[in-house]
């Protein structure tokens, strides 16, 4: 039998570790499966504590949300009330902005009406073509125009004569015994009263009826 020359194998020598460790790989997989429960396991007490912690945080967040919501609603209500109050004040200011001026003008109207009254009582007064008739007519026209202007700005006269006395609208200057009016009725007006819109800016000065003494006795 012919022997061939045996030469050393010059190919790459692969260590056992760099080969294909089928058995080792299976062993590691088995070890990994066996080790997972130990690494991922959470104790029941720790889990319960974590749940309680989350619940506490949620409760705290809910309380804070309720507090913020309550603050928002209060702030919103205050803002709306402020807007309404400012709106009312603006309306009131518009309605009564001219009150001071009107109070200064009303005495001028009083003087015109007194002049007309005196002229009407004079001989020939107020009669066209007689005495001061033309002048009186002119004064009456001026007084009417002035009252028309005041009316445009919300001024109205207080109705007094024949009405029950109202201390909120009238100021009693005296009482008169009479059977022509019910007791407590206004029978005479010394000075007219005026409203500005729904506010009394000057009460009327009046005389109020009272029963005669013989009726009282």
pLDDT tens-digit map of 91-135:
888 888 899 999 999 999 999 999 998 887 765 555 554 556 788
d(CA 96, CA 46): 74
Does residue 97 contact residue 91 with C-beta atoms inside 8 Å?
Answer: no
Calpha distance 177→213 (Å, rounded): 8
Is residue 90 predicted with pLDDT exceeding 60? yes
**Which tens digits make up the pLDDT trace of 147-173?**
999 999 999 999 999 999 999 999 999
DSSP letter for each residue of 10-41: -SPPPPGGGS--HHHHHHHHHHHHHHHHHHH-
Beta strand 204-210 pairing with 170-177: parallel
Give just the sign of the alpha carbon dihedral 86, 90, 93, 96: negative
168-209 pLDDT, tens digit per residue, is 999 999 999 988 899 999 999 999 999 999 899 999 999 999
CB neighbours of 160 closer than 8 A, spacing ≥ 6? 169, 170, 186, 189, 192, 193, 204, 206
Q: What is the pTM of this model?
A: 0.59
* pLDDT single digits (tens) 27-80: 555 444 444 454 445 688 888 888 888 888 888 888 889 888 999 999 999 999
Strand partners, 195: 156, 200
Per-residue pLDDT tens over the stretch 4-20: 455 555 555 555 544 44
Output the six-digit token pair for 63.
Answer: 């309380």
The closest alpha carbon to 154, from 112, 204, 194, belongs to 194
Average pLDDT in the chain: 80
């Amino acid at each position: 039998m012919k022997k061939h020359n045996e030469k050393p194998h010059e190919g790459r020598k692969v260590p056992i570790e760099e080969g294909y460790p089928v058995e080792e790989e299976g062993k590691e997989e088995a070890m990994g499966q066996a080790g997972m429960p130990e690494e991922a396991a959470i104790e029941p007490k720790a889990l319960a504590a974590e749940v309680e912690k989350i619940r506490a945080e949620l409760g705290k967040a809910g309380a804070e949300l309720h507090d913020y919501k309550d603050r928002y609603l209060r702030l919103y209500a205050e803002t709306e009330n402020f807007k309404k109050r400012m709106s009312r004040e603006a309306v009131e200011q518009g309605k009564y902005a001219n009150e001071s001026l009107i109070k200064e003008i009303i005495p001028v109207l009083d003087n015109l009406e007194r002049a007309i009254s005196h002229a009407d009582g004079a001989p020939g007064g107020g009669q066209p073509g007689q005495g001061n008739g033309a002048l009186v007519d002119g004064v009456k026209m001026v007084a009417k125009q002035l009252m028309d202007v005041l009316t445009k700005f919300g001024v109205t006269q207080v109705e007094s004569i024949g009405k029950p006395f109202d201390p909120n609208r009238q100021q009693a200057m005296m009482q008169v015994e009479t059977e022509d009016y019910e007791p407590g009725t206004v029978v005479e007006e010394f000075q007219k009263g005026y409203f500005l819109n729904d506010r009394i800016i000057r009460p009327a000065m009046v005389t109020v009826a009272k029963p005669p003494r013989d009726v009282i006795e």
